[in-house]
């Protein structure tokens, strides 16, 4: 058999296999290739439902508010995505974010540090916190769930001790720390903030990094199969350490976005941030088992969380319905992920 004949036979076999696939199997394959597709459909459905329930929801001012509220969760969820792509999880992300924001604010207000150095030191604290998590995971070989559950309590306590129960309010904040809260008016009366622009910029950067750089390829490889990645010559522990440290820096930036959003630095901010970030990642199509997902899906997941929260509030429904809706979405998303993963097998 010539090479040309063998190639033709191979194409015929592939076409025959595809022809034998049922519509469900084809859908399964599409969702596996594009994990952001199903959350995008959910987002569109949610927008249609809430717009039909009340006309207030679709007003440009309210949609701008949703976007601004989503900026904090989405920034936090970006760092969470990097970790979950490696089959890990970070329960301390919200605590790191709040701790970083308090460090920024109190360095500037209490210690007299200039706004810009205080900002960078706060982000550095986030990176160090992530590095600590990474060292415990890679050097001590502790499970990420246990490590970050412990550091959740540690960073929460450090925040309370460092803040001494005091909130640094708007007039006490350095201008550099409040900058992300400045409004940006778009056509049609749609208002966002600089914090939203910073969040979008971060997503664009990491979408490129994960798709087109060797580091991004290694992150997916480690999450998919760490043993195979190690055999392929990838320094698995080094990749994991870099992921946790990078995520910590992103959590520090999320602290800056948080200050801009609430115009204050409070030790009681971001109470539900840990859960919301994980929810956004899972609903966005990133697999909890690692190795599959896109940051674009996480952004859609964060928007879904923001839309459901705001839509229920505007409709005058009880807060319990938000928890019911989000909890249901999480279970559906994880079930769908299990079903989609079968396409690979």
Question: What are the pLDDT digits (tens) for 228-281?
Answer: 999 999 999 999 999 999 999 999 999 999 999 888 888 888 778 888 899 999
Mean pLDDT of the chain: 86
The confidence score (pLDDT) of residue 42 equals: 83
CA pair distance 195, 71, nearest whole angstrom? 7
- Asked if pLDDT for residue 7 goes beyond 70, the answer is no
Reported pTM: 0.88
Domain residue spans in the chain? 31-344
Q: What Cα–Cα distance (Å) separates residue 227 from each residue in 7, 124, 235? A: 33, 32, 11
The confidence score (pLDDT) of residue 248 equals: 97
| 88 membership: H or E segment, kind and range | none
CB of 216 closer than 8 Å to CB of 209: yes
Length of the chain, in residues: 345
Q: What Cα–Cα distance (Å) separates residue 15 from each residue in 8, 21, 289, 317? A: 11, 10, 31, 51
| 186 membership: H or E segment, kind and range | strand 183-186
Domain 31-344 has CATH 1.10.3470: yes
Neighbour tally for 39: CB within 10 Å: 27
């Amino acid at each position: 058999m010539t090479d040309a004949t063998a190639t033709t036979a191979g194409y015929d076999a592939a076409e025959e296999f595809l022809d034998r696939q049922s519509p469900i199997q084809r859908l399964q394959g599409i969702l596996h290739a594009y994990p952001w597709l199903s959350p995008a459909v959910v987002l569109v459905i949610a927008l249609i439902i809430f717009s039909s329930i009340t006309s207030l929801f679709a007003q440009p001012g309210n949609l701008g508010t949703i976007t601004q509220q989503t900026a904090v969760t989405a920034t936090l969820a970006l760092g969470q995505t990097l970790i979950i792509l490696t089959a890990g999880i970070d329960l301390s992300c919200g605590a790191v974010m709040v701790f970083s924001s308090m460090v920024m604010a109190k360095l500037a207000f209490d210690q007299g540090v200039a706004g810009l150095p205080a900002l960078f030191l706060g982000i550095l604290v986030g990176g160090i916190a992530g590095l600590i998590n990474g060292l415990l995971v890679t050097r001590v070989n502790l499970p990420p769930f246990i490590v970050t559950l412990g550091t959740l309590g540690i960073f929460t306590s450090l925040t309370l001790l460092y803040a001494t129960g005091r909130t640094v309010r708007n007039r006490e904040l350095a201008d550099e720390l409040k900058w992300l809260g400045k409004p940006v008016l778009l056509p049609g009366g749609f208002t966002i903030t600089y914090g939203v622009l910073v969040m979008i910029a971060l997503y664009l950067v990491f979408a490129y990094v994960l798709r087109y750089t060797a580091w991004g390829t290694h992150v997916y490889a480690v999450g998919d199969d760490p043993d195979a990645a190690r055999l392929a010559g990838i320094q698995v522990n080094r990749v994991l350490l870099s992921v946790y440290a990078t995520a910590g820096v992103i959590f520090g930036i999320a602290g800056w976005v948080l200050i801009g959003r609430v115009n204050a630095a409070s030790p009681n901010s971001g109470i539900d941030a840990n859960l919301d970030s994980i929810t956004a990642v899972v609903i966005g199509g990133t697999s909890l088992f690692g190795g599959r997902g896109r940051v674009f899906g996480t952004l859609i997941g964060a928007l879904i969380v923001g839309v459901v929260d705001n839509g229920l509030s505007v409709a005058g429904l009880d807060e319990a319905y938000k928890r019911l809706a989000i909890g249901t979405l999480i279970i559906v998303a994880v079930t769908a992920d299990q079903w989609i993963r079968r396409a690979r097998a």
